[in-house]
Structures are given as C-alpha cells and as structure tokens.
C-alpha cells in the first residue's frame, strides 16, 4: 500500500512495469530490472516468469533460447548471459 502511494503515477503499477519490461541493453541489465520488478510479485507462477523473461529478450538471444527449451528461471537467465557474451566474441 505504501509503495503504491509513493510511486509516481506515470510509472504505472509494479505489475504494469513488469509486463512492459524488455531487453534494451545488456542481458545483465535486463536481468537486474527483471529480478527487481519480479521480486514483489510473489504469487506469479514460475512458468509465467520464465515465459516473460524469454519473451523480453532481444530477438537473436530469444531465438537461441527457444530452441533449447530450458526449464528453470535461474538457468534461463544464466544461459541468456552466456549467449550474449558469445555473440559479442563472434
């Protein structure tokens, strides 16, 4: 309740911010924002978190992630960072 009262109205609710999230910079930055916004959403099912994380990734990383069909948000986040790092080297 306090969080909602102190939040600027133009930012939207935490849920709105979370659903609008997508990767605009590095996977590391995206992951940090994702984890920060997802933390207060305790009732969010793991499958929904996983799907939203992958869907918010840049197209090239998302495509590689979908081929692998991973399970587990932590593993998905780690792999997305490794894919990005590999893309930067190649």
pLDDT band at 89 (very low <50, low <70, confident <90, very high): confident
pLDDT tens figures, 14-48: 999 999 999 999 999 999 999 999 999 989 999 99
pTM of the full structure: 0.82
Which is nearest to 27 in space by CA: 16, 15, 35? 35
Q: Assess contact for 53 and 73: CB atoms under 8 A.
A: yes
Domain total for the chain?
A: 1
Per-residue pLDDT for 52 more than 90? yes
Q: What is the mean pLDDT of residues 71-89?
A: 92
The domain in which residue 48 lies consists of 2-89
């Amino acid at each position: 309740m306090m969080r909602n009262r102190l939040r600027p109205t133009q930012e939207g609710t935490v849920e709105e911010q979370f659903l609008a999230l997508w990767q605009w910079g590095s996977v590391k930055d995206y992951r940090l924002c994702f984890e920060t916004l997802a933390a207060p959403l305790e009732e969010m099912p793991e499958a929904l978190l996983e799907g939203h994380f992958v869907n918010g990734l840049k197209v090239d990383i998302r495509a590689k992630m979908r081929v692998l069909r991973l399970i587990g948000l932590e593993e998905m986040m780690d792999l997305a960072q490794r894919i990005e790092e590999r893309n930067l080297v190649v």
